[in-house]
Amino acid sequence: MFRFDRRLLQNIDWAIIGGVLIVTLMALLNLYSATRLNDAVGLSAFFKQLYFNLMGFGLILLIVTIDYKVLIGLSYPLYIFGLLMLVAAMAFGQTVAGSQRWIGLGFFRLQPSEPAKLILVITLASYYYRKDTGKGFTLPELFVPIILTLVPFLLILKQPDLGTALMLLIIFASMTLFVKLRWSTFGILAGGALGALPVVWKLLKPYQRQRIEIFLNPESDPLGSGYHITQSKIAVGSGLKFGKGYLHGTQGQLDFLPERHTDFAFSVWAEEWGFFGSLVFLACYFFVLLWGLNIAVTARDKFGMLLAFGIVSLLFWQAFINLGMIMGLLPVVGVPLPLFSYGGSSLLTNLAGIGLLLNIRMRRFMVAA
Amino acid sequence: MARGLGNINKMDPAELKMLKTRIDIATAIMVTLIAVLVVRLWYLQIRKGTEYAQLSENNRTRIQYIAAPRGNVLDRNGNIIIANRPRFNVIWIREDAPHPDEVLKQLAKILKLDISVLLDRIRAGADHPRYLPTRLKEDIDWETLVAIENNAYRLPGVQVEVLPSRDYLYDEMASHLLGYLGEINQQELDASDDNTYMPGDLIGKGGIEKLFDRYLRGEKGASFVEVDVRGVVQKRLKTQEAVPGNDLQLTIDIGMQKAAEDAMADKAGAVVAMEVNTGRILVLTSLPALPLHEFSSGIPANVWQRLLSDPKTPLINKPIQGQYPPGSTYKIVTALAGLSEKVITPDTSFFCSGSINFGNRSYGCWKKGGHGSISLHRALAESCDVYFYQVAQKLGPDLLAHYAHSLGLGAKTGITLENEKAGNIPTTAWKLKRFKEPWQEGETLSVGIGQGFDLATPLQICRMTAAVANGGTLYRPQFIAAVKDSTGAFVSRFKPIVDGTSLGSPRTLQLIRDGLEGAVNEPHGTATAAKMENVIVAGKTGTAQVVRMAQYKATSASNVPYLYQDHAWFTCFAPFDKPQIAVTVLVEHGGHGGSAAAPVAKAVLSKYFEMYPPPPLPAAEAATAATPTLPVTTTPATPPTKPAAPPTATPSPTPSTKPSAKPMAKPPAKKKP
């Protein structure tokens, strides 16, 4: 199982590797611009991200050597491990900016909610793969995946990290819709979700409610919480056709943009490279994701298909929510742009996801051992 | 795991097709959402791009104004009177101070203060928001500043603010003329039609600081800076340097000004000196002085109240706003009118018995014993009231006024200072209009010796004296010698302005000058206190009557309360034969001009001639000055320096001569006696 087949090398998907490389290089370029004048972060962020990239590509190498189907058996241990990390973050994690999301590992602060997303994708893919009868899932059959999703969801919501928690629900919804659902089940789930909305609203922290309210009416608080959206829109909009030039984006360079190396990294890009630069970026970025769907279509088996679909949906929804937020289409929910925003946990997780896509791609013609 | 690996390759073709269809749907959804993002990006960057570009521009650039160094004020010899000096205050911003105790301990050591002093200051500002600065110490010296700057990294929360301030190198000297600065108020902002002034600016609030503010202030510079969201400057984009204000060179001679103010000591009043042939003002003093150092950051209410209630009325700029009966200095006018209208000749003599009866009243001479038979020269020198009563009586008020006006009385001199007063020269028409009563002939007598309705400012009297000295030319009093820009180039320079010519022939004026020379240099003259060794001075004393209270009639002068004592005048020019300078002194409630005012004038003249030595005296004149030949007198000589008894009651209602107590910054209500 761990033996590396030379034939695999011929099937390496250079397209996706190339796409990811370009995106991560753009990310590093952008990170330098966003942080070089920031006293609090400084150049150390740039180098950290560089190291994480190198680690991430190492991780990809490791992942592609192992047939992805081992994950079917490893999904529950992985899931338990993921939950333990979330509990650990809660029990003795580090509190940063009011959220308890991190586990200190000396050289690196691990944010367990990031791998938790990928682990949920793997767990759900395994579960649906194993349980699928081809007749469509009934509500009792969905009980387990719902629980599998809700446990990490609640743990992450408690940190509190609304954006990541919501991502779990979106992953669940995407993957569950992808496998066959009975219409009755879909109706009940949709109804249940709608019914739960008021309850969720009550569970939200005041600042989270405020963010949604401000999203619905951004003019209500232009200097308070609406500030982020406004500043981000100004940054993006003022980029015009060709941008202000690399390292010359005033909004980003002058500290008007909040979180500009993490969640708002793309604002910096859009400001400095303009509309055409942004189009180039989006083209590269979504090429990778659309290529990921192609990997799902051509997967050797259903598990590979489910897994690839789950990974692509994980990356895509985060990207869409992040970009929508930056462009003022969606509320500020603190979702990073995968492969682009600064953050080691997120980068490693997403590169691991890319590794799995490569893995699936490489083995599309292979017969299981 | 049971189903696990075994059937992993088995995929139902129908199911595979179905899943592929779903991936196609997912692809479609994905492409649609990507399209939404691209459209949105187009909308933000292309459609609304310029709007956002504008917003981002405003977001980051700020204008920082650079204060222009205010112009210096110099005296005629280039001595700096007002300079600029930055003041450094130590301020404390709580928000930036994570470890206040440590920092304050350090700071107390540097400031050489007890830490409790600092803590008291901080406690006093405890209610303010944390980001607002609290002043810990004002006006630190250079060494302390350096010590703080060097230790800045150890003193988070401690900052030094720089405030521009004026440095008055001669303290309160010429305070009314110089004026002071204060923060601009809304009215002043509204009044400026351009962008010269901005809120928070310092602006001249009085004197030349106010009048010449636009010259002195220069032009602010501006620096366009990029700031971050906290307003911290990141980069300077473009800087337009400030243009320093123009220097103002005054015609004032600070040495003479000092001599005048020293000689006045704690007396209240005014001293004016001007060049008789140009109108340049050399001394312009109003006392008591304004406490300029207390005005540096606005006038505290208690100081204002104190100044308002001070009986010596420091808020009035006395040389131009103080209106006093000219007293005997007005005899110059009466003499000029009498000679010119030929009601007298130099030889016409009257008999002074010490008083004269008119109607049913007796009008006294200041010299109760009388001057005996007296003609013009002695009448001027010894200031005989009875002589001038009779001259005035022959002229009548309207002719007197005509000549008074020709000497510049009763009208503003046109000096470029605020709220100058015109004084008052009464005519019959004026009285009818003002009091709805016809002129009483007895009033002519009072007016003829400068009492009654007559009012004049010290500046007017000085200019009158200068005109008599120079042969009749009325020069506009001016105090600006030059306005220079920062490179030293002249923006404007002094040019004499002639406002008119007095009536009277040169010979008539010479006769008057002779009389004034006698007042100083003849033994019975009233102004021998002004006599000098090396220069022949000519002058005229005067006593301006203040409200005469019946109860003080019999009291000797020294026992009369301050506010009821007469004002003392002395006006003079020198050198007698080639006049250069006229000096006028008014001592409020000073008693007699010869004793109270003349020595002050002499001090000013001495200083002047110390700097500009006079030509040596002609032998004959020197002999006269040194050993005057005694003219024949029929009356015992009264030592002129001894305080003379106040003149006897004048018949007409004497208006209060106390100038209205209005601050110099505000125009006092028009008040005619």
Instruction: List chain A domain ranges.
Output: 7-362
State which residue of chain A sits closest to B4, comparing Cα positions.
Answer: A130
Give residue B657's pLDDT band: very low, low, confident or very high (50, 70, 90).
very low
DSSP class of residue B12 equals: -
In single-letter form, the type of residue at position B519 comes to: A
Distances (CA, A) of B282 to A252, B144, B250, B254, B540: 63, 41, 9, 8, 20
What average pLDDT score do residues B379-390 get?
A: 91
Q: Which of B27, B30, B58 to mutate to test the interface with A (most CBs of A within 10 A)?
A: B30
Q: Does B36 touch chain A (CB under 8 A)?
A: yes
Q: In this structure, which topology does domain B254-287+314-626 adopt according to CATH?
A: Beta-lactamase (3.40.710)
Q: Which residue of B4, B49, B230 is in closest CB contact with A130?
A: B4
pLDDT at B128 over 70: no
pLDDT at A312 over 50: yes
Under 8 Å between Cβ of B135 and B149? no
Q: Which of A231, A272, A298, A302 to mutate to test the interface with B (most CBs of B within 10 A)?
A: A302
Give residue B592's pLDDT band: very low, low, confident or very high (50, 70, 90).
confident
Q: Taking all residues of chain A, what is their mean pLDDT, rounded to a whole number?
A: 85
Q: Which residue of A251, A275, A312 is in closest CB contact with B41?
A: A275
Strand B473-475 and strand B480-484: the pairing is: unpaired
**Strand order in B61-66's β-sheet?**
B61-66, B221-227, B233-240
Q: How many CB atoms lie within 10 A of CB B433?
A: 10
Question: Which residues of chain B make contact with A134, given a CB cutoff of 8 A?
Answer: 12, 15
Question: Which residues of chain A make contact with B35, given a CB cutoff of 8 A?
Answer: none
Closest CA to B314 of B284, B285, B286: B286
What average pLDDT score do residues B540-567 get?
A: 69
Question: Which residues of chain B make contact with A253, given a CB cutoff of 8 A?
Answer: 234
pLDDT at A152 over 80: yes
pLDDT at B7 over 50: no
Q: Does B55 touch chain A (CB under 8 A)?
A: yes
Start-to-end C-alpha separation, chain B? 119
Burial of B121 (0-12, 13-18, 19+ CB in 10 A): middle
Start-to-end C-alpha separation, chain A? 7
Reported as a single tens digit per residue, the pLDDT across B191-214 is 776 667 776 678 888 888 888 988
Reported as a single tens digit per residue, the pLDDT across B636-651 is 433 444 333 444 333 4
Q: Which residue of B18, B38, B52 is in closest CB contact with A282?
A: B38
What average pLDDT score do residues B376-386 get?
A: 91
Determine, for residues B44 and A237 on separate chains, whether the beta-carbon distance falls below 8 Å. yes
Angle between helices A344-362 and A302-326 (to 10 degrees): 140
- Give me the total of CB pairs closer than 8 Å, taking one residue from chain A and one from chain B: 146
Please tell me the predicted confidence (pLDDT) of residue B285. 92
What average pLDDT score do residues A198-212 get?
A: 75
CA atoms within 13 A on the CB side of A193: 13
Distance from CA of A317 to the nearest CA of B (A): 9
Q: Which of A174, A234, A264 to mutate to test the interface with B (most CBs of B within 10 A)?
A: A234
What average pLDDT score do residues A322-337 get?
A: 88
Reported as a single tens digit per residue, the pLDDT across A58-113 is 999 999 989 999 999 999 999 999 999 999 888 877 666 556 677 777 667 788 99
pLDDT at B624 over 90: no
pLDDT at A235 over 70: yes
Under 8 Å between Cβ of B132 and B125? yes
Percent of chain B with pLDDT over 90: 31
Reported as a single tens digit per residue, the pLDDT across A155-178 is 998 887 878 888 999 999 999 989
Q: H helices then E strands: how many in chain A?
A: 14, 3
Distance from CA of B133 to the nearest CA of A (A): 24
Instruction: List chain B domain ranges.
Output: 64-86+162-249, 254-287+314-626
Q: Taking all residues of chain B, what is their mean pLDDT, rounded to a whole number?
A: 81
Q: Which spans in A160-264 are helix H?
A: 162-178, 183-203, 206-216, 226-237, 250-253
Q: Which residue of A69, A177, A282 is in closest CB contact with B8?
A: A69
**How far is it, in rounded angstroms, from Cα B545 to Cα B542?**
10
Cα-Cα-Cα-Cα dihedral sign, residues B170, B176, B178, B179: positive
**How far is it, in rounded angstroms, from Cα A342 to Cα A33?**
12
Question: Which residues of chain B make contact with A324, given a CB cutoff of 8 A?
Answer: 37, 40
pLDDT at A148 over 60: yes
Least confident of A346-355, B226-235, B560-569: B226-235
Determine, for residues A323 and B1 on separate chains, whether the beta-carbon distance falls below 8 Å. no
Q: Does B195 touch chain A (CB under 8 A)?
A: no
Question: Which residues of chain A make contact with B33, given a CB cutoff of 8 A?
Answer: 320
- Helix, strand, coil shares of chain A as percentages rounded to 5? 70, 5, 25
Under 8 Å between Cβ of B291 and B303? yes
Q: Which residue of B4, B9, B15 is in closest CB contact with A134?
A: B15
**How far is it, in rounded angstroms, from Cα B211 to Cα B204?**
7
Do domains B64-86+162-249 and B254-287+314-626 share one topology? The answer is no
Please tell me the predicted confidence (pLDDT) of residue B640. 40
Determine, for residues B55 and A237 on separate chains, whether the beta-carbon distance falls below 8 Å. yes
What average pLDDT score do residues B146-168 get?
A: 80
Question: Which residues of chain A make contact with B5, given a CB cutoff of 8 A?
Answer: 69, 72, 368
Closest CA to B133 of B115, B151, B158, B111: B158
State which residue of chain B sits closest to A364, comparing Cα positions.
Answer: B9
What CATH number does the domain located at B64-86+162-249 have?
3.90.1310.10
Determine, for residues B45 and A279 on separate chains, whether the beta-carbon distance falls below 8 Å. no
Question: Which residues of chain A make contact with B59, given a CB cutoff of 8 A?
Answer: 231, 234, 250-251, 254, 256
Question: Which residues of chain A make contact with B1, given a CB cutoff of 8 A?
Answer: 72-73, 130
pLDDT at B298 over 70: no
- Radius of gyration from C-alpha coordinates of chain B: 37
Q: Which residue of A240, A253, A293 is in closest CB contact with B26?
A: A293
Strand B567-574 and strand B538-544: the pairing is: antiparallel
In single-letter form, the type of residue at position B638 comes to: T
Please tell me the predicted confidence (pLDDT) of residue A245. 87
Q: Does B41 touch chain A (CB under 8 A)?
A: yes
